[in-house]
Amino acid sequence: MTEATTPVLVVGAGLAGLSTAMFLGVHGVASVVVERHPGLSVQPKARGQMPATMEALASAGVAERFRGAAPPGREEMIIVIAETVSGPVMKDFVQGMPDFSAFSPMPMAHASQERAERIMAERAVEVGADIRFSTELESFRQDGERVVAVLRDVTTGRRTTLTAGYLVAADGHKGGIRDAAGVGVHGQRSRGQGRTMFAQFEADLDVALDGAAFGLFYLRNPALPSGFATVVTTDHPGRYVIAVGFPQDEEPGRGRLAEVIRIATGLPGLDVRVVDAAWTSSGDHITRVADTFRSGRVLLAGDAAHLMPPTGGQGGNTAVLDGYHLAWKLAAVLSGTAGPGLLDSHDAERRPFADALAEQQYANLVERQAPHLRDGTEAEIIDPMAGLFGYVCPAGAFVPEQTGDRPGPLFEDPAAPSGLPGSRAPHVRLSRAGTPMSPRDLFGPGFALLTTSAAWAGTVERAGRALGVGLDLHVIGDGLIDVDGRFLSAYGVTETGATLVRPDGVIAWRSRGPAAPAALEDALRHVLDRVRPS
């Protein structure tokens, strides 16, 4: 049995695992990614990257690759609740879609998970990741210093011992790391609504799509076995995926499945070819969130941490952002610029968001497809813009202000941001030498201090030198024009104040006006779990 070492072992080469490996590499940290399958998934799954996800991907240099991975066709998309793919339409989500440009400098992208994983895998390798397919985690043990993993090549049976500083469990909802680490789960129970079959099929639905590149149809139809289904386009013209529920005791053959597809499309004479089909199950939960996202040196990400219905389309986005928000913290701890307590913020920040998001996606399921599940326990559906841009961490790696008990998670109106530490640094329109910019373009891989006063320059230089961290000063007004004059109000500071922003675009600390000379360094020490020398 051979032995090797790595700073971080990532188990699972899905969205969360590849995101973590890619962003670790951007921060200069090598990782080993193991995946028990022989290659990346070829199954169409999640599609679409929201603007905040695209901001993260831009920081890794892959945003243009994602935009170029959209399926052929017009940029328009179809997202509706309907009786069948052919209609009638009960609700059109695209017609009421808000203007994301008010909250982010990045547009959406429409890459499928199949293509997204390939882009991130390529970039992860470019920045130093070692991806090993046909390799499974057989066992692991951890202590206060390391994780010792036994890996097995599923083709040859050869075993390898790998010692890592940390283990990221991105092994999906069926993975075993979470259970092996002793982490429980909670969520909405299924209440025996049956099983869901995912099937790829080929058919001519061009008339329903009308040339759009992407179509998502939430179907409510009593003629369907469970009363509802979802049909979505893929990267391959003429190929689609249907997710449809069946009673526990029904085992549909391809003929029965083709019949259900004709009902779902509203085309009784449709020529259908079923390509493949498989059952999926989340066990006895519709939503499932881990009780903690950290267990010693094991950190959970993606479906291993949170599983939710796809209604709302945020599961894949959240998996990518798990890696984005976690990678800089792991890099800081591994480099010695942060104490190990920084990693506690992975649970403190990401789990409350996952809890809220799972409840929102479940509420969307009830609203869009399964009103028979409504029993008063579902969450009130919040404004999607608040969900996408308004989350305020209830606790974590930031210096809290005296704002009461900070119940969390808080979702504020991103059109009227508070600038509170723990919130997303707001997008405002900036310009440099005539080029449109945003504060979001200024973040990563180090910390950033935003201000309208150049008087902070000496403080920034001293704090960065004292702690050995990257810390950039950005003076709004010094060649960086505040186009709409919104910076001070959006960030809640005066002309002499400043806001400290983390590498992942979350506000870490702010001083509404001038601060004591040591205040910025003290804030960084608090965020990074660094004790000031006596």
Domain boundary among 372, 399, 430: 372
- 417 shares a domain with 509: yes
Note whether 448 and 361 are same-domain residues.
no
36 & 167 share domain? yes
Distance (Å, whole) CA 53 – CA 404: 31
Provide Rg for the chain, Cα atoms: 24
Is the pLDDT reported for residue 2 higher than 60?
A: no
Q: Is residue 79 part of a domain?
A: no
CATH number, domain containing residue 339: 3.50.50.60
Residue 42 has a pLDDT of 73
| Domain assignment of residue 475, yes or no | yes
- Return the bridge partners of 141, or none: 148
pLDDT score at 406: 58
Strands 159-169 and 2-11: parallel
Catalytic residue among 218, 324, 391, 491: 218
**Could you give the CA distance from residue 376 to residue 359 in angstroms, rounded to a whole number?**
12
**Within this chain, do residues 520 and 444 fall inside the same structural domain, yes or no?**
yes
284 pLDDT exceeds 60?
Answer: no
Predicted confidence at residue 454, as pLDDT, reads 96
The pTM assigned to this predicted structure is 0.93
Whether residue 28 is found in the same domain as residue 117: yes
Residue 327 and residue 439 in one domain: no
Same domain flag for 404 and 516: yes
Q: Is residue 161 part of a domain?
A: yes
331 and 452 co-located in one domain? no
* Tokens 């723990």 belong to residue: 422
- The reply to whether 112 and 165 lie within a common domain is yes
Give CA separation, 496 vs 450, 469, 515, 518, in Å. 11, 24, 9, 16
Name the pairing type of β-strands 298-300 and 159-169. Answer: parallel
Phi, psi of 369 (to 5 degrees): -135, -30
Domain assignment present for residue 303? The answer is yes
- Counting the structural domains of the chain, the total is 2
Residue range of the domain that includes 459: 390-528
Q: Quick: pLDDT tens for 381-401.
A: 999 899 999 999 999 999 999
| pLDDT in the model for residue 506 | 98
Question: Helix crossing, 457-467 with 519-528: angle to 10°?
Answer: 40
The verdict on residue 89 lying in a domain is no
324 is catalytic: no
Residue 403 has pLDDT above 90, yes or no: no
pLDDT of 74 above 60: no
- Residue 188's pLDDT is 82
pLDDT score, position 277: 85
21 and 130 share a domain?
yes
d(CA 185, CA 197): 24
- pLDDT-derived band of residue 191, with 50, 70 and 90 as boundaries? low
In a domain, 418, yes or no: yes
The b/e string for 435-466 (b: 16+ C-beta within 10 A; e otherwise) is eebbbbbbbbbbbbbbbbbeebeebbeebbeb
Q: CA-to-CA distance for 207 and 14, rounded, in angstroms?
A: 34
**pLDDT at residue number 458:** 96
What's the pLDDT tens digit per position in 197-211? 889 999 999 877 777
**pLDDT level of residue 478 (50, 70, 90 thresholds):** confident
Q: What average pLDDT does the segment 143-157 reach? A: 95
Report yes or no on 77 lying in a domain.
no
In this prediction, residue 186 has a pLDDT band, given cuts at 50, 70 and 90, of: very high
